[in-house]
């Protein structure tokens, strides 16, 4: 907006006519370059006042400036995505480490010299676009590759399996988890009757439920989630040989989650926690990266598995079929406009370049219809592929024409093919074009689930038994929390019946938490669960690598702190590629021992310790007996301790820690001087102390 329009007179100041103003009529086109205009380019003289019939009179219909502005505003909103409405996106690139030409003829996967532009969008599923980031939910992990052979959309999740096996069940699943239709709540939560009613009547959901009740569903950051294609696809090489494939994304920063108690607090204190985290990391040049991997499964291997490779409620343990890491994605540019890019991006699982094909997974088959269809309503017509974020970055031409919001001007007399009037028009290309493998089809027309899809419990048990004790404890707590919100008791007893089949210990502990011992329904599974060899790769904690990279250390500064200690801390944290966030009683900052004011990044009231991966408190040598904001300080420390975080403190903070019931253990580190900072960093890199005994507890229960 030009400064001129900001300076425009306001109502009451305006002269009756503008004769005293310099005439604009003789201005050149250049002089109008910074003048605000209507959508049709008509220069606007006054962007503050409606055209009135007399200074205190009614508005005039002819005020096209006002009417256009209001009309456009009235239509600013488009329908939010029916699922995955809340999300954040960023631009970046994909690089191949080594050619995959033995498996696929897709050009972008064959030549390591090629760098492919990408746009990634991460999302939650159940909540509306304004819901909190920390909902217990699956995270969408959708990547658009702008390849030389057209768009490739890999529309996955951060959990490798899905709730249902057949697309026919998807609208019911989505209705069940969304706010209940009569009352309009709960928002962004599966902890309610309709969700648990539906899943408890759908045994195929059991495996995915174990994942959504696990820490995977409350990630610390989008930068710290894995991604999975979920559905099985095929890859076909230039010779026509085909294999099944499963897609994987591995975060370079490692996997990390928050605790449920933290998730609840973060949602209140910063509902944009994940969105902000991704934005800030990219903004600061700390670009998140994921490695891309494929599990390649021959027809023979697929036939040897004790489940069906077409069943999206099953994963293939990587101990059975290793993940071949073939490249990496780097997100290095934030969007310029959230609506134009993150909101208008349209992912279609049907967008596959030659060399990648669908499998007959019945869930995938339904998705092939749904995404294209939903975009027509959401983006207002069939030309959404012309929006800059969706447009292919390779030549694109065909004879599809017209429709709402056509933005191109396709030239020429010929808009059909074959034709003899214009020899220069594009033609089909049997050599380079997308084809399908000649798969034999000879089935009966039938509505029936394959019997090879019938084992609903073995992999649910596999997941529970593959994760560590603290992770199991969180799953138990999550089931207990969610089911305690279910009002209809019959739903709870039904769910307990399923848990009994998955793992008797899981069932017993959830039952005890609910006070419903002995009340589980007896459920007879269609196929009895098999004992599978645990897969440590499914655990977050079992494969955690000690690191502080990409993490945030919160430092609470009390007036009179030692600046040398802060500098030492800052240097060590920076050298780990982590960041320091300074918290003080007020946003103005805290004064160090020399009386110098050090500005804070956040005030204590707005920066709870749940925001940080590890915390430190720097107090003066002899703190005054009565501290300002003493209760808030105590709570900040107490919560960090109870959330099992590694903590550092200067000697002057000892009594404050005692008041906060922070016991001494290897995760509470005294900073006696600059040389002791290394010990703290070493401890902090290991993450939480799962065996920490908290105040009032007899032993660790994680
Ligand atoms: Fe989606 N899904 N889905 N889904 N899905 C949508 O498409 C649908 C499924 C996933 O950031 C919608 O553009 C059906 C599995 C992601 O824009 C819609 C079925 C997986 C996103 C739709 C599934 C996903 C969506 C809503 C069962 C993991 C967000 C708006 C047959 C592999 C993409 C839209 C973004 C979005 C339908 C199942 C992932 C309605 C019918 C399985 C990440 O078309």
What pLDDT is attached to residue 624? 84
Classify the C-alpha dihedral 271-274-277-279 as positive or negative. Answer: negative
What is the structure's pLDDT at 33?
A: 86
Distance in Å, CA 84 to ligand 1 centroid: 7
- Across 330-353, average pLDDT: 98
Q: Is the pLDDT of residue 701 over 50?
A: no
| Residue 121 assigned to a binding site | yes
* Atom 32, ligand 1: residue with shortest CA distance: 156
Domains and CATH numbers, the chain: 23-74 (4.10.91.20), 87-386 (2.40.180.10), 458-538 (1.20.1370.20), 552-684 (3.40.50.880)
Q: How far apart are the first and last CA of the chain?
A: 55
Q: Give the pair of three-digit tokens for residue 70.
A: 């209001």
What is the pLDDT, as a whole number, of residue 424?
85
The candidate with the shortest Cα–Cα distance to 621, out of 591, 590, 653, 597, is 653
According to the model, what pLDDT value does residue 565 have? 97
* 350 CB neighbour count, 10 Å cutoff: 15
- From 211, 314, 347, give the residue whose CB has the most ligand 1 atoms within 8 Å, as the site to mutate: 347
142 SS3 class? strand
Which token pair is 181?
A: 């239709």
Any alpha helices (H) in 429-562, and if so which ranges?
458-466, 469-484, 489-502, 504-514
- Is the pLDDT at 60 greater than 90? The verdict is yes
CA dihedral 171, 463, 317, 310 (to 10 degrees): -20
pLDDT of residue 454: 98
- Among the listed residues 49, 84, 231, 334, the single catalytic one is 84
Quick one: residue 295, left, alpha or beta (phi over 0 = left, psi -120 to 50 = alpha)?
Answer: beta
Q: Which of 85, 141, 155, 248 maximizes ligand 1 atoms within 8 Å of its Cβ, making it the mutation to test the pocket?
A: 155
Give the pLDDT confidence score for residue 423 in this predicted structure. 86
Q: Kindly give the number of the ligand 1 atom that is closest to the alpha carbon of 366.
A: 31
What mean pLDDT comes out for the span 642-658?
A: 97
* Helices (H) then strands (E): counts for the chain: 18, 18
> pLDDT over 90 for what percent of the chain?
91
The pLDDT of residue 249 is 98
Supply the residue whose CA is at minimum distance from atom 31 of ligand 1: 167
Confidence of residue 16 (pLDDT cuts 50, 70, 90): very low
- Has 170 been labeled as part of a binding site? yes
- Residue 26 — pLDDT band, cuts 50, 70, 90? low
The mean pLDDT value for 660-683 works out to 96
**Bond into 256 cis (ω within 30):** no
The mean per-residue pLDDT over the stretch 654-680 comes to: 95
Q: Taking all residues of the chain, what is their mean pLDDT, rounded to a whole number?
A: 94
pLDDT at 700 over 50: no
How far apart CA 593 and CA 561 sit, in angstroms, is 5
Instruction: Specify the residue with its C-alpha closest to ligand 1, atom 20.
Output: 156
Active site residue 84: yes
pLDDT at 627 (0 to 100): 82
pTM of the model: 0.94
Residue 203 reports pLDDT greater than 60 = yes
pLDDT band at 30 (very low <50, low <70, confident <90, very high): low
pLDDT given for residue 328 in this prediction: 98
Residue 152: φ, ψ to 5°: -115, 120
Across 129-232, the runs of DSSP E, i.e. the strands, are 139-147, 150-157, 227-228
pLDDT per residue over 574-627, tens digit each?
Answer: 999 999 999 999 999 999 999 999 999 999 999 999 999 999 999 999 888 888
Portion of the chain with pLDDT greater than 70, in percent: 95
Q: Please report which confidence band the pLDDT of residue 29 belongs to, taking 50, 70 and 90 as the band edges.
A: low
**Helix, coil or strand: residue 259:** coil
The residue whose C-alpha atom lies closest to atom 23 belonging to ligand 1 is 367
Of 386, 449, 398, 448, nearest to 426 by C-alpha is 398
Residue 266: pLDDT band with limits 50, 70, 90: very high
Distance 83 CA to ligand 1 centre (A): 7
Which residues form the pocket of ligand 1, taking CB atoms under 6 Å from any ligand atom?
Answer: 81-84, 87, 121, 123, 140, 142, 155-157, 162, 167, 170, 230-231, 312, 345-347, 363, 366-367, 370-371, 374
Q: Is residue 550's pLDDT more than 80?
A: yes
What is the model's pLDDT at position 511? 98
Is 371 known to sit in a ligand binding site? Answer: yes
Ligand 1 atom 8 nearest Cα:
367
pLDDT greater than 70 at residue 642: yes
Summarize the confidence of residues 8-27 as an average pLDDT. 43
Q: How confident is the model at residue 13 (pLDDT cuts 50, 70, 90)?
A: very low
Q: Report the distance separating Cα 698 and Cα 461, nearest Å.
A: 29
Beta-carbon contacts of 336 under 8 Å, excluding residues fewer than 6 positions away, are none
Active-site residue, selected from the candidate residues 49, 157, 231, 585:
157
Question: For a pocket test of ligand 1, which of 120, 140, 346 has the largest count of ligand atoms closer than 8 A to its C-beta?
Answer: 140
Concatenate the DSSP letters of all residues of 201-229 into one string: T-GGGHHHHHHHTSGGGSBS-GGG--EE-
User: Buried b vs exposed e over 245-264: b needs ≥16 C-beta within 10 Å?
Assistant: bbbbbbbbbbbbbbbbebbb
Can you tell me which atom of ligand 1 is nearest the CA of 166?
Answer: 31
What confidence category does residue 18 fall into, taking pLDDT thresholds of 50, 70 and 90? very low
Ligand-binding annotation for 234, yes or no, is no
Residue 169: pLDDT band by 50, 70, 90 thresholds? very high
* Active-site annotation holds for 175: no
């Amino acid at each position: 907006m030009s400064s001129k329009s900001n300076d425009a007179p306001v109502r009451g100041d305006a002269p009756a006519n503008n004769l005293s103003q310099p005439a604009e009529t003789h201005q050149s086109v250049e002089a109008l370059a910074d003048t605000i205009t209507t959508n049709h380019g008509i220069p606007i003289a006054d962007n503050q006042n409606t055209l009135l019939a007399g200074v205190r009179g009614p508005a005039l219909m002819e005020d096209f400036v006002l009417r256009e502005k209001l009309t456009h505003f009235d239509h600013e909103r488009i329908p939010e995505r029916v699922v995955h409405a809340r999300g954040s996106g960023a631009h970046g690139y994909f690089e191949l480490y080594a050619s995959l030409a033995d498996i696929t003829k897709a050009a972008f996967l064959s030549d390591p010299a090629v760098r492919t532009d990408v746009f990634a969008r991460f999302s939650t599923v159940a909540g509306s676009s304004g819901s909190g980031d920390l909902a217990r939910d699956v995270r969408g992990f959708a990547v658009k590759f702008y390849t030389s052979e057209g768009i490739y959309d890999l529309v996955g999740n951060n959990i490798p399996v899905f709730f249902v096996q057949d697309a026919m069940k998807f609208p019911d699943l989505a209705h069940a988890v969304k706010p209940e239709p009569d009352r309009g709540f709960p928002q962004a939560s599966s902890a309610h009757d309709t969700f648990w009613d539906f899943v408890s009547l759908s045994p195929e959901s059991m495996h995915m439920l174990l994942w959504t009740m696990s820490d995977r569903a409350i990630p610390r950051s989008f930068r710290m989630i894995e991604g999975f294609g979920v559905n099985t696809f095929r890859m076909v090489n230039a010779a026509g040989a085909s294999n099944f494939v499963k897609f994987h994304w591995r975060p370079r920063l490692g996997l990390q989650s928050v605790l449920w108690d933290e998730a609840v607090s973060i949602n209140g204190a910063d509902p944009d926690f994940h969105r902000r985290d991704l934005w800030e990391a990219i903004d600061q040049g700390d670009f998140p990266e994921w490695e891309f991997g494929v599990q390649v499964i021959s027809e023979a291997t697929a036939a040897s598995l004790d489940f069906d490779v077409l069943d999206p409620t099953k994963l293939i343990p990587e101990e059975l079929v290793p993940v071949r890491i073939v490249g990496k994605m780097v997100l290095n540019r934030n969007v310029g406009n959230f609506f134009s890019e993150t909101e208008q991006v349209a992912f279609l699982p049907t967008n596959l370049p030659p060399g990648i094909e669908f499998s007959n997974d019945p869930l995938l088959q339904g998705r092939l219809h749904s995404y294209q269809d939903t975009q027509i309503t959401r983006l207002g017509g069939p030309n959404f592929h012309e929006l800059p974020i969706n447009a292919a970055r390779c030549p694109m031409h065909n004879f599809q024409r017209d429709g709402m919001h056509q933005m191109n001007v396709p030239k020429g007399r010929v808009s059909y093919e074959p034709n003899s009037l214009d020899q220069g028009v594009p033609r089909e290309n049997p050599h380079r074009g997308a084809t399908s493998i000649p798969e034999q089809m000879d089935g009966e027309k039938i509505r029936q689930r394959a019997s090879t899809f019938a084992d609903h419990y073995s992999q649910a048990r596999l997941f529970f038994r593959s994760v560590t004790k603290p992770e199991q404890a969180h799953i138990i707590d999550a089931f207990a929390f969610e089911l305690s919100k279910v009002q209809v008791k019959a739903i709870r007893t039904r769910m307990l019946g399923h848990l009994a089949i998955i793992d008797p210990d899981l069932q017993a502990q959830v039952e005890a938490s609910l006070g419903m011992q002995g009340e589980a329904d007896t459920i007879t599974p269609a196929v009895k669960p098999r004992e599978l060899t645990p897969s440590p790769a499914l655990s977050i904690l079992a494969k955690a690598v000690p690191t502080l990279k990409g993490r945030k250390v919160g430092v609470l500064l009390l007036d009179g702190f030692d600046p040398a200690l802060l500098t030492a801390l800052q240097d060590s944290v920076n050298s780990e590629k982590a960041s320091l966030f300074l918290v003080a009683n007020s946003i103005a900052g805290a004064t160090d021992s020399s009386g110098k004011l050090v500005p804070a990044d956040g005030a204590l009231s707005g920066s709870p310790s749940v925001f940080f991966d590890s915390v430190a408190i720097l107090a003066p040598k002899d703190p005054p007996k009565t501290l300002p904001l003493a209760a808030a300080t105590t709570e900040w420390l107490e919560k960090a301790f109870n959330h099992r975080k590694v903590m550092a403190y200067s000697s002057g903070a000892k009594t404050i820690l005692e008041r906060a019931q922070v016991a001494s253990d290897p995760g509470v580190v005294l900073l006696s001087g600059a040389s002791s900072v290394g010990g703290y960093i070493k401890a902090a890199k290991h993450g939480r102390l799962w065996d920490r005994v908290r105040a009032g507890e007899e032993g660790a229960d994680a």
